[in-house]
Amino acid sequence: MSTHAPSIWSLPGLVVHHDTPVRMRDGVTLATDIYMPDRGGPFPALLLRTPYDKGDATETTYAHAAWYAQHGFAALSQDVRGRWQSGGDFVPFASEAADGHDTIAWIAAQPWCSGKVATYGFSYPGATQMLAAPGAPPALAAMAPAMTGSSYCEGWTFRAGTFELAFILGWVAALARDQAIRAGDLDAAEELTGLVATPSLLHEIVPLRAGMPAVLSRYAPYLHDWMAHPEYDSYWKRFSPIEGYSEMRAPGLHIAGWYDSFLTGTLENFEALSKIGGARQRLIVGPWYHMPWSQHVKEADFGSEARNIVDDLQLKFFSRVLLEGKPDDESPTVQLFVMGEDRWITAESWPPPPRETRTLFLASDGRANSLSGAGRLTPDPPAADARMDALPCNPLFPVASVGGRSCCFADAAPMGPADQRCQEIRTDVLVYTSEPLDQDLHVIGYPQVMLHLATDTPSADVIVRLTDVHPDGRSLPVSDGVYRLRAGEADGGKVARTEIRMSPTAICFRAGHRIRLTITGSDFPARDRNPNNGASGLDATWSDFRIATQMLFHNTASASRLALPVA
């Protein structure tokens, strides 16, 4: 409950209303800061609803609300239910639809508002928008959800049967720390701060579900609910953007990053709402990871065109729709940053139709293990008697997560284009590399991998990663995919034909570079360790862990291959 009394801060050209109480339908009030010009009006409103403290209205990426106010808007930042100065109890996602509706209606009824409201924000504040959009009040004139999910099961808490370990545990520990501070439980806050600062303490808990620290269970009880629902069932459908697409009517500006954990979800939102045929949807995808948004992403410098341009894009979008009252039909539908060339291109749809599909076959002499092995990517179909490759996976010694699409704690699971060679030297990594390209190759869309696998355990994980190998040897990730083989799929002598749609990308593999595909049986701590014995990774004990040996076939009858959408 708010401990701050409402106050007004008057500045030259700007007036700020701090901690304004906005009453919800059940009587709970949500604390809201309002920034607006000190004269004129009424103004169209921009709303950011956040669990991360409304006082930090930049959300680490956006210009401050005061900047938007100086461009003719009333800019509002609100603590969601149960967080910081707002009343009620915080249960992620559960109240965002109703509270979003009530807040939009309240704003539109204020004398300083023109009756038009737009929403913005990324990550969880993107979720608050997507959940409030179905059946929203007519005042919702536009939305700009960035780097957010289409479901909070698949692609958020789980991915293809694996648990998003580093992200979920780190995020929930940070949320729980804030709740302990809110409750005045400083001992718990200190303990949770230690978990946030040293995430490996959480990653190494075995069994995971039963071994959660009591303080985490006390201040984030919903974590156990999430673990109890690994499939997309009625629990998740209660608060899922997927279920509400048909009722979303506002024009949207969807913002994504090629290295963001929620890339696929953001693209799914854009694609689905575009197909409905209602208000126009736009898509911007930069070379960024989850935060911050910059031309400097891990080990890569994507040049000045990759700088954070989101505020300028949003201002133009909101000005067009809310201030001018015109449809947003002058800007390109899709803007994509092509890595390698480090420039923006436009398209009419996502994904843009490929010119061709380039197929590269996996080949070796039976020893594709590590950078020292003989794994190749080749356009030539495999021989009938090609030898298989053996891939061991020991849950006690998993392959480490290094770069790629993770969120949001760099020390726990590094994000972005990090050199993969430190893991590619391991013999429990299969490495397939092409010859140097004789000309540039543009790949835009979803790479696909077809693998023929057998395993000697009831379950096993398959992690695939596409990398751009520079002439100096650096192997930088551009796309990835994961699949958890389950009992009966590839064990007991069966050979499973496994198709994996990898994460989308837009890259120019430059002439002289090589294309590489790696395959591993683990990706820790980005994902939970599979015990490989058929048990859930959430409940496995140390004695459950088994070494899985996967056999990868790439002969004429079982041709494992990589398919690239060439633009």
- Categorize the per-residue pLDDT at 330 as very low, low, confident or very high, splitting at 50, 70 and 90: confident
The pLDDT of residue 60 is 76
Q: Which helix (H) or strand (E) holds 520?
A: strand 514-520
Q: What is the mean pLDDT of residues 162-171?
A: 96
Q: What average pLDDT does the segment 361-383 reach?
A: 97
2 in any annotated domain: no
118/502 Cα distance (integer angstroms): 33
How far apart CA 505 and CA 72 sit, in angstroms, is: 36
Contact at 8 Å (CB) between 153 and 227?
no
Domain span at 179? 162-229
Domain identity same for 172 and 122 = no
The last residue of a domain, from among 229, 246, 281: 229
Residue 1 lies in a domain: no
Q: Indicate the SS3 state at residue 4.
A: coil
190: confidence class by pLDDT, cuts 50, 70, 90: very high
When pLDDT is averaged across residues 164-169 and rounded to a whole number, the result is 96
Enumerate the H helices of 28-150 as residue ranges: 65-69, 96-108, 124-132
pLDDT at 287: 97
Same domain, 438 and 335: no
Examine the domain organization and report whether 249 and 224 are in the same domain: no
Please indicate, yes or no, if residue 255 is contained in any of the structural domains: yes
Cβ atoms < 10 Å from Cβ of 494: 11
Same domain, 547 and 459: yes
Residue at 489 is within a domain: yes
Binned at pLDDT 50, 70 and 90, residue 278 comes out as confident
For residue 566, the model assigns a pLDDT of 98
Please say whether the beta carbons of 480 and 464 come within 8 A: yes
154 Cβ partners below 8 Å, 6+ apart? 160, 232
Indicate the residue type of 65: A
pLDDT digits (tens, 9 = 90+) for 94-143: 999 999 999 999 999 999 999 999 999 999 999 999 999 999 999 999 99
Reply yes or no on whether the pLDDT at 483 is more than 90.
yes
Co-location of 428 and 532 in the same domain: yes
Distances (CA, A) of 444 to 5, 150, 309, 441, 563: 52, 21, 21, 10, 12
Residues 147 and 170 in one domain: no
Whether residues 306 and 339 share a domain: the answer is yes
What pLDDT, in 10s, does the model give residues 521-532?
Answer: 999 999 999 999
Say what the pLDDT of residue 1 is. 54
Given 195, 229, 263, the domain boundary residue is 229
Residue type at 351 in one-letter notation: P
Single pTM value for the model:
0.97
The alpha helices in 109-213, defined as continuous H runs, are 124-132, 165-183, 186-197, 200-203
Q: Is the model's pLDDT at 183 over the cut of 60?
A: yes
Task: Please give the mean pLDDT across all residues of the chain.
Answer: 95
Question: In this structure, what CATH number is given to the domain that contains residue 144?
Answer: 3.40.50.1820
- Which CATH number goes with the domain that contains 550? 2.60.120.260
Paired residues of 464 in beta bridges: 481, 519
The arithmetic mean of pLDDT across residues 382-402, rounded, is 95
Beta bridge partners of 347: 334
What average pLDDT does the segment 158-187 reach? 96
Domain count, the chain: 3
Tell whether 561 is covered by a domain.
Answer: yes
Same domain for 392 and 297, yes or no, is no
pLDDT at 285: 98
Asked if residue 257 is part of any domain, the answer here is yes
Q: Is residue 339 part of a domain?
A: yes
Confidence bin at 477 (pLDDT 50/70/90) = very high
Which of 53-57, 337-341, 495-499 tops mean pLDDT? 337-341
Say whether both 214 and 81 belong to one domain: no
Shared-domain flag, residues 145 and 176: no
Residue 458, preceding peptide bond in cis (omega within 30° of 0): no
> How large is the average pLDDT for residues 149-171?
96
Decide if pLDDT at 59 tops 70. Answer: no
Domain assignment of residue 88, yes or no: yes
Looking at the chain, the number of H-run helices and the number of E-run strands are 13, 28
How confident is the model at residue 277, as a pLDDT? 79
* Domain edge (last residue) among 229, 244, 270: 229
Q: Picking from 158-162, 325-329, 425-429, which range would have the lowest pLDDT averaged per residue?
A: 325-329
Is pLDDT larger for residue 149 or for residue 329?
149
Percent of the chain at pLDDT exceeding 70 = 98
Q: Do 251 and 316 share a domain, yes or no? A: yes
Residues 420 and 510 in one domain: yes
Name residue, tokens 């599909």: 357
